[in-house]
Amino acid sequence: MVIYSQEIAHALGFSVSSDGKRATLFDPNLGEFHTHSKALADTIENISSVDGLPLIGVQVFASKIH
């Protein structure tokens, strides 16, 4: 997952539980965050704010392991 700010893109590690109810985010500056999937948007906004990045957008790169 990438958070986009004014002139900066900041990468985060991202995974979702198999039931889709829980998400884990890893920020290299702040560490690991465990959240409910419904609170994911708020968590991303909080991480962006703490990192000092005015949030413009988010891009998710997804794959599924078989």
Reading the chain (66 residues) residue by residue, the pLDDT tens digits are 898 988 888 899 989 898 989 999 999 888 999 999 889 889 989 988 988 888 899 888 877 765
Please identify which residue in the block is written with the tokens 């794959």: 63
pTM for this entry? 0.74
Contact by Cβ (8 Å): 55, 38: no
At residue 26, the pLDDT reads 93
At residue 66, the pLDDT reads 58
Phi and psi for 16 in degrees, rounded to 5?
-125, 140
Helix (H) or strand (E) holding 22: strand 22-27
Contact by Cβ (8 Å): 62, 13: no
